[in-house]
C-alpha cells in the first residue's frame, strides 16, 4: 500500500530527470506517455494517472496507470474537471471532488484531482489527469512539477502529430 508522502522539490527534480531519460530512450511520443503515467503512478499521492489527447471536441484516453481502468475514455471538451481544464487551458486543482459539481466520478475512493493541460503552439493538445485518495492531495508544487512534465510531453517526439488528431 502507498504511503501518503507529499511531493517535495528534491523528488520533483529526480522524477523530471527520470522523465528526461525516458524521453531519450523512447522511440515515440506514445511510448513516452505510457512510461510517464507509470512513473507518476509510483508517487504515493498519485493514485490514478491518465493522459488524454484532444481529438476534435473531445479528450481521448491515450495512456493510464492505476488500480483499474476508467469508464471515462472520452470526455467532451468543457465537461467535467478534465473538459474544463482543456477548454480553459489552465491547470485545475480540486482539493475535494465531492464539493465540485464538475466532477465526473471514476472511482469511489477518489477525494481530490489535478488536471494539467499539455500545450503546443498556444493550443491544448492533451492533458495529464491525476486522482488522489485523500482530500488536499495536491499542492502548488504538484502543479509546478506536473506543468513541467506536460512541457516535456509536448516537446517529445511525435507530439506534433497530436495536433492533427
Strand arrangement, sheet containing 92-94:
74-76, 58-65, 48-55, 123-132, 112-120, 92-94
List the domain boundaries for the chain: 9-164
What distance in Å separates the CA atoms of residue 17 and residue 23, rounded to the nearest whole number? 10
The CATH superfamily of 9-164 is GAF domain (3.30.450.40)
Instruction: Convert the pLDDT of each residue in 6-37 to its tens digit.
Output: 888 999 999 999 999 998 888 888 999 999 99
Which one has a higher pLDDT value, 135 or 103? 135
CA max distance for the chain? 42
pLDDT of residue 1: 44
d(CA 161, CA 4): 37
CA distances from 91 to 27, 69, 71, 82 (A): 28, 23, 22, 9
Amino acid at each position: 500500500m502507498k504511503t501518503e508522502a507529499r511531493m517535495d522539490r528534491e523528488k520533483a527534480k529526480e522524477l523530471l530527470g527520470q522523465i528526461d531519460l525516458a524521453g531519450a530512450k523512447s522511440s515515440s511520443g506514445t511510448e513516452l506517455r505510457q512510461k510517464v503515467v507509470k512513473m507518476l503512478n509510483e508517487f504515493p499521492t498519485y493514485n490514478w494517472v491518465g493522459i488524454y489527447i484532444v481529438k476534435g471536441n473531445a479528450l481521448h484516453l491515450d495512456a493510464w496507470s492505476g488500480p483499474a481502468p476508467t469508464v471515462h475514455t472520452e470526455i467532451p471538451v468543457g465537461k467535467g474537471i478534465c473538459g474544463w481544464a482543456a477548454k480553459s487551458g489552465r491547470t485545475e486543482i480540486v482539493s475535494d471532488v465531492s464539493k465540485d459539481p464538475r466532477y465526473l466520478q471514476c472511482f469511489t475512493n477518489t477525494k481530490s484531482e489535478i488536471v494539467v493541460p499539455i500545450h503546443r503552439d498556444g493550443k491544448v493538445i492533451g492533458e495529464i489527469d491525476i486522482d488522489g485518495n485523500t482530500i488536499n492531495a495536491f499542492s502548488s508544487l504538484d502543479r509546478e512539477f506536473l506543468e513541467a512534465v506536460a512541457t516535456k510531453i509536448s516537446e517529445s517526439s511525435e507530439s506534433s502529430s497530436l495536433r492533427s488528431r
